[in-house]
Amino acid sequence: MLQEAGLTLAESDQVSYVIDRDKMFDWTTANASRLPDVIDEADQADSRLTTFGITSYFGNGTHGGDLLFHQGRKEISFIVTVNKRTMLDSVFCDFGWYLSRLVPPFERLGLVELTATDLH
């Protein structure tokens, strides 16, 4: 599903992720070859008590962000953290660019609501 959105989960042979159990959000990195282990660990974690986050990159890795699967796995967030793409001549995020890539695959999975926020 993420690949369909043009997202990759590794950059420079590294994957950055968090399996948060204590609300401290201590992110860690691992070699990209460990990605299947990271996904398995997240799958095995109690989804009611953990948030799983993984840094994701669009296409060539120029833009990306942190994809968070919140406790209960009913809500997700995408936080633009990697080279935010802005609107032309603006400091504000180009939400249209991100949403056109993220909404279609998540809508097929049951997306029913979205909120976009940017602060300057």
Helix, strand, or coil here: 38? helix
pTM, rounded to two decimals: 0.89
Please provide the average confidence, as pLDDT, over all residues in the chain: 92
Residues 73 and 106: their CA atoms lie apart, in Å, by 13
Dihedral sign, Cα of residue 33, residue 39, residue 40, residue 44: positive
Q: What tens digit of pLDDT does each residue of 65-119 get?
A: 999 999 999 999 999 999 999 999 999 999 999 999 999 988 988 888 999 999 8
Amino acid at the residue 90: S
Percent of all residues in the chain with a pLDDT value above 90, rounded to a whole number: 78
Give the model's pLDDT for residue 62. 87
8 Å CB contact between 18 and 25 = yes
From the DSSP assignment, how many helices (H) and strands (E) are in the chain?
2, 6
- Domain spans in the chain, listed from the N-terminal domain onward: 7-108
